[in-house]
Chain A
Amino acid sequence: MGGMGALDMSGSLFSTTLSYLKDVFSSVRSILESCVTAIPYLFSAGENRKEVTEQYPDPISSRTADDLPSRSRGLLFNDIDRCTGCRECEKICPNKSIAIETQSGSDPAKIWVSLFDIDFSKCIFCGLCVEECIPGSLVHTKQYEGAVYVLDDLKASFGRGGVTPEMQARWAANRRTHENEEVGF
């Protein structure tokens, strides 16, 4: 019998029987001890013995996004008004989840971010892009529920869209007005 060890058969009948009985007794005791350890859980006695199931998504006992720590790396969000289009995030992303297209904006110094797509089907939520973002426009939200029915819905678009001819005309007009003002017309 494996766990009963090698019974020492060289002893007398009495000592063999005694060691056999001791083995049986100790095994019964260890089984009973294990059973007894589980008893406090029946009564949820104390902090350490409560049930720990998180019944997501039941509000009875599930954590919401607000319960998560502040550094939690959830779905990404880009505040396009602060984004300077520097493309650091696109460069650092380990698997090219960010696609950026830029055009020149209302004046030569500004960049118009026309396309800023994050493909969450590729994103590994490592946070390197957020770390690299110089203006701090790209942040992690605490949202983690991103399941969709159609794969294409996993692309999040933060861009402003392409520059239309009307916008270009308006900007050109503004520039001319400013230039005229500077020259002192």
Chain B
Amino acid sequence: MSFSLFGERLKTDVTNWEVGPYHLSLPGPIRLSLKLDGEVIISGEVETGFLHRGLEKCFELHSWKSAIPYADRLDPEAAVFGELVYCLAVEEAANTLVPPRAQAIRIILSELTRISCHLANAVRIARAVGAETVLHYLLRDREKIIDLFELLTGARFSLNFLRIGGVRADVTEGFIERVLDVCDLIRVRLKEYNDLFTFNHAFLKRTINVGVLSPALIKKYGMTGPNARASGINADVRKDRPYSGYEILDFEVPLGRGEGGTLGDAHERFLIRLREVSQSIEILKQVTEGLPLGEYLTPTEDKAVPEGEAYVRVESSRGLLGCHLMSLGGTAPHRVQFRAPSGFHLQAVPELITGLKLEDLSVVLASLDLSISEADR
């Protein structure tokens, strides 16, 4: 055996290092090719596509209705947004009206999913900094929301609940009360998370002034959602182009304030998501209070949608989710193309991580709330 301990020179110049596609600290299967100068990242490249499943093609092979389970799987964690954007696009192309009760149920599901996704993102950030305790608390509370999904739709993640023209079924008995209970519980828990984690000094040290997204970077890559709002850019599809009943609701969109650190650092993104959770609770209370009576589905027969195009935007938990639908009047969509927010966030990653220390990389990637399944489709 040769004594190889100091046989290799200690590499003191620029090192190349490839991480991925499987690594504990990555948000999903991506490959990062990093050039490192000691601890500092000089440049990085992101390679995606490891989770490409040909999802958009699958839409063309099935009827309008049986394509909905595929829309679920655009972003499995936040299934409702995929369904919602697809159904809205088809409804726009087919000029189908959605009854108010169905719109309210869709809002309930959307906001519950938003809370669940933000909690899951907080779990990933906590894992990146090594805070085990708050991680388990967050997962415990997310379970309550997932149980709500099962109560309403029958499934925990792939809901398959929205239909073209409404929703599949009415709310079950006791669902609204359970929703309000969960809202109260989460409000209590938010205070607990703040005591335990949000302002913990070690966490602040890991996230303040780390991974700052400047507004110029955001505009350059078209980033949206909480990532953009944490840098002070006020853009929210629910306010700018309201859909599905958001017009009549009264809520404010949380913006980054930059107190305690830089505007747009990882801590601000974390805070924004917690504030959005409490905002979603407000919206849920409003909607459940005045749940409109009436039909939950405008019956359409799973038949042809007239020829035409539609483009619909939805505010998913990660950003602006768009769906471009083309119909040639057949029994199946001719082409469906999604504009997934995570794809645009990923484009900003190489520029964002230059100058970052290596240990901060997993924290910054977690704070961006990337969904590789959405980006790769």
Contact = CB atoms under 8 A, between A and B. Distances in A.
A and B touch in the complex (CB under 8 A): yes
Interface of A: 2-3, 26-28, 30-31, 33-34, 37-38, 48, 52, 68-73, 92-94, 124-128, 131, 140
B195 A71 contact: no
B150 A128 contact: no
A68 B169 CA distance: 18
A71 B151 CA distance: 7
Interface string B134-169: 000000100100000011111100101000000011
B172 A69 contact: yes
B209 A71 contact: no
Contact of A73 (B140, B155, B200, B204): B155
Interface of B: 62-63, 65-70, 72, 133, 140, 143, 150-155, 158, 160, 168-169, 172, 185, 188, 192, 195-197, 199-202, 204-205, 208-209
Given A3-B201, A30-B204, A72-B155, 14 more contacts: A27-B201, A30-B199, A30-B201, A34-B195, A52-B143, A71-B150, A71-B153, A71-B154, A72-B150, A72-B154, A92-B66, A94-B66, A125-B158, A128-B160
A111 B72 CA distance: 35
B286 to A, nearest CB: 25
Instruction: Tell me what chain B mostly uses at the interface: helix, strand, loop, or mixed.
Output: helix
A31 to B, nearest CB: 6
A37 B155 CA distance: 34
Given A3-B208, A38-B133, A124-B158, A68 B69 contact: no
A28 B152 CA distance: 46
B196 A69 contact: no
B169 A71 contact: yes
B167 to A, nearest CB: 12
Contacts of A127: 154-155, 160
Contacts of B209: 2
Contacts of A140: 154
A140 B204 CA distance: 49
Given A3-B204, A92-B63, A128-B69, A52 B172 contact: no
A71 B148 CA distance: 12
B140 A52 contact: yes
A126 B152 CA distance: 14
Given A26-B201, A70-B172, A94 B196 contact: no
A124 B160 CA distance: 11
24 contacts: A2-B208, A2-B209, A3-B201, A3-B204, A3-B208, A26-B201, A27-B201, A30-B201, A31-B201, A34-B195, A38-B133, A48-B188, A68-B150, A71-B169, A72-B150, A72-B154, A92-B65, A94-B62, A94-B66, A94-B70, A124-B69, A125-B155, A128-B160, A131-B168
Contacts of A52: 140, 143
B154 A3 contact: no
A128 B66 contact: yes
Nearest to B173: A70
Contacts of B68: 126, 128
Contacts of B70: 94
B69 A38 contact: no
B373 to A, nearest CB: 15
Contacts of B62: 94
A37 B192 contact: yes
A38 B196 contact: yes
B205 A34 contact: no
B195 A37 contact: yes
A126 B65 CA distance: 12
A31 B200 contact: yes
Contacts of B204: 3, 30
Nearest to B154: A71
Nearest to B205: A3
Contact of B69 (A3, A30, A72, A94): A94
Nearest to A27: B201
A148 B86 CA distance: 36
Contact of B151 (A3, A27, A69, A93): A69
Contacts of B143: 52
Given A3-B208, A30-B200, A126-B160, A69 B150 contact: yes
Contact of A2 (B155, B199, B205): B205
Contacts of B65: 92, 128
Contacts of B152: 71
Contacts of A71: 150-154, 169, 172
A8 to B, nearest CB: 16
A30 B63 CA distance: 56
